[in-house]
């Protein structure tokens, strides 16, 4: 991967070349393609859709093309399976309220204690109507969600199992295809959080056979929006969350419609990734180029984070929260740790003057931090790299930590 070309595509590195951004799991930098798209839309197409005049028709056309790009990115079979919303959290809430209308008291939902609250809180709200919510707990020794523990929770009343593709704390890649197949065999559906996966690996909803899958575009090099995939037949069966006369997907799940300029920018992010995969500007948007781009990203990031993992793993006072290996198959470049004698807040505040952006806390994975007993540590220190970070930046971080960890 040509790291110089990559960084040249992100205007922030020209404006603020000294700042090191390692809080990417909280929000990535925005690629220039997306910034240009927002300006272009607001300059040339800032009208309401559905009118007969030419500007409205042209705006509808380019937004359709942007949505088709996101469809390709997801590998969704149909464009009406792509739902756009203000955030992942809002989309999950809409899905939850729509699904719950078809459930009865005593029906069951399974969530994990690993997930971001986005894929937990909405489902717990259903306890008010008699839905039983069970928790699939992580093994605190291995930091893994074990399949046998899931099977122990499932019954004939299980309607939905919610889990994350990659924990925003642990960074490990879960076997969601295997879990989905098993859950389907028990007659239930799945809702998968792909927020911490999407910046690092290519999504393939058809290959995994997931029912619902979502990610956040502002953590995937674009503007602040969310995208949810749902299987067409399932979405068609659900009641909507829009005006009563709107019956079709995705519109019945998009109250007030989408933010047009941000939706257009999402297509531009896919264009950037295809350019990266093809090695040229304005490449065709297709799965081949996307696969090549994410192969480059996976291999680059695995090498990028390896020195940090080695340093932290060898330090006797540091505990990596998750697997301590850097392999593209097992983890993404999101790494959390705690120090035996120094709380996480102190570590991050020590690093701040070096112009390195990392973070401490629970990152809304509230129950995971509680279950692992890390609340008194002020949560974890999280370093989350992206493919635009460099080996020199990682070395700068290691040097800053060595000053504190003498």
| Domain locations in the chain as residue ranges | 3-29+287-404, 35-271
Question: What are the angstrom distances between the C-alpha of 188 and each of 113, 154, 158, 401?
Answer: 19, 9, 6, 46
Give pLDDT tens digits for 355-393: 999 999 999 999 999 999 999 999 999 999 999 999 999
- Pairing status of strand 108-112 against strand 20-21: unpaired
The predicted pLDDT at position 406 comes to 83
Section 11-21 average pLDDT: 93
Section 163-180 average pLDDT: 98
* 380-404 b/e (C-beta count within 10 Å ≥ 16 → b): bbbbbbbbbbbeebbebbeebbeee
Section 250-254 average pLDDT: 97
Section 329-356 average pLDDT: 98
Neighbours of 254 (CB within 10 A): 19
Give pLDDT tens digits for 59-111: 999 999 999 999 999 999 999 999 999 999 999 999 999 999 999 999 999 99
C-alpha span between 359 and 390 (Å, rounded): 18
H-helix or E-strand containing 94? helix 88-100
Question: Considering the chain, what percentage of its residues have pLDDT values greater than 70?
Answer: 100
- CATH-assigned architecture of domain 35-271: 3-Layer(aba) Sandwich (3.40)
pLDDT band at 35 (very low <50, low <70, confident <90, very high): very high
Torsional class of 355: left (φ above 0), alpha (ψ -120 to 50), beta (otherwise): left
H-helix or E-strand containing 261? helix 260-278
- Do residues 343 and 321 lie in contact, with contact meaning Cβ atoms separated by under 8 Å? no
CA atoms within 13 A on the CB side of 22: 32
The predicted pLDDT at position 37 comes to 98
Q: Supply the angle between the helices 391-404 and 287-314 in degrees, to the nearest 10.
A: 20
Phi then psi for 139, rounded to 5 degrees? -75, 115
The predicted pLDDT at position 17 comes to 87
The predicted pLDDT at position 86 comes to 96
The predicted pLDDT at position 380 comes to 98
C-alpha span between 123 and 102 (Å, rounded): 14
Number of H helices, E strands in the chain: 15, 13
- Look at residue 266 and tell me whether its pLDDT is greater than 90: yes
Section 268-286 average pLDDT: 97
pLDDT band at 156 (very low <50, low <70, confident <90, very high): very high
3-29+287-404: CATH number: 3.90.1150.10
Upstream peptide bond of 250 is cis (omega within 30 degrees of 0): yes
| First-to-last C-alpha distance (Å) of the chain | 35
Give pLDDT tens digits for 291-300: 999 999 999 9
- Look at residue 16 and tell me whether its pLDDT is greater than 90: no
pTM, rounded to two decimals: 0.97
Question: What are the angstrom distances between the C-alpha of 326 and each of 179, 298, 307?
Answer: 23, 11, 9
Section 320-335 average pLDDT: 95
Q: Which residues pair with 172 in a beta bridge?
A: 331
Question: Considering the chain, what percentage of its residues have pLDDT values greater than 90?
Answer: 99
- Look at residue 189 and tell me whether its pLDDT is greater than 90: yes
């Amino acid at each position: 991967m040509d790291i110089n070309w990559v960084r040249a595509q992100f205007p922030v590195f020209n404006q603020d070349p000294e700042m090191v951004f390692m809080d990417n799991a909280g929000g990535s930098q925005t690629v220039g393609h997306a910034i240009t798209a927002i300006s272009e839309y607001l300059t040339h197409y800032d009208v309401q859709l559905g009118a007969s005049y030419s500007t409205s028709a042209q705006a509808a056309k380019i937004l359709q093309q942007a949505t088709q790009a996101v469809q390709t990115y997801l590998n969704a079979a149909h464009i009406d399976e792509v739902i756009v919303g203000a955030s992942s959290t809002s989309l999950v809430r809409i899905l939850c309220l729509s699904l719950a209308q078809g459930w009865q008291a005593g029906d069951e939902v399974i969530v994990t204690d690993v997930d971001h609250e986005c894929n937990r809180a909405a489902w717990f709200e259903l306890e008010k109507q008699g839905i039983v919510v069970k928790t699939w707990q992580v093994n605190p020794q291995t930091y893994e969600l074990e399949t046998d523990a899931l099977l122990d929770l499932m019954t004939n009343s299980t309607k939905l199992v919610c889990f994350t593709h990659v924990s925003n704390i642990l960074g490990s890649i879960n076997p969601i295809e295997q879990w989905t197949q098993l859950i389907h065999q028990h007659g239930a559906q799945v809702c998968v959080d792909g927020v911490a996966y999407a910046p690092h690996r290519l999504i393939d909803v058809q290959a995994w056979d997931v029912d619902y899958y979502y990610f956040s575009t502002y953590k995937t090099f674009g503007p602040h929006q969310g995208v949810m995939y749902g299987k067409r037949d399932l979405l068609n069966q659900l009641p909507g969350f829009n005006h009563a006369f709107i019956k079709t997907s995705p519109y019945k799940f998009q109250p007030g419609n989408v933010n047009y300029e941000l939706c257009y920018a999402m297509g531009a992010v896919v264009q950037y990734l295809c350019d990266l995969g093809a090695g040229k500007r304005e490449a065709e948007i297709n799965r081949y180029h996307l696969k090549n781009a994410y192969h480059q990203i996976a291999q680059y990031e695995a090498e990028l984070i390896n020195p940090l993992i080695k340093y932290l793993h060898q330090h006797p006072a540091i505990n990596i929260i998750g697997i301590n290996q850097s392999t593209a198959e097992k983890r993404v470049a999101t790494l959390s740790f705690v120090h035996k004698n120094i709380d996480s807040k102190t570590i991050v505040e020590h690093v701040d003057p070096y112009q390195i952006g990392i973070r401490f806390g629970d990152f809304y994975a509230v129950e995971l931090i509680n279950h692992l007993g890390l609340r008194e540590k002020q949560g974890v220190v999280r370093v989350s790299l992206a493919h635009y970070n460099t080996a020199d930046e990682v070395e700068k971080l290691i040097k800053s930590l060595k000053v504190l960890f003498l």
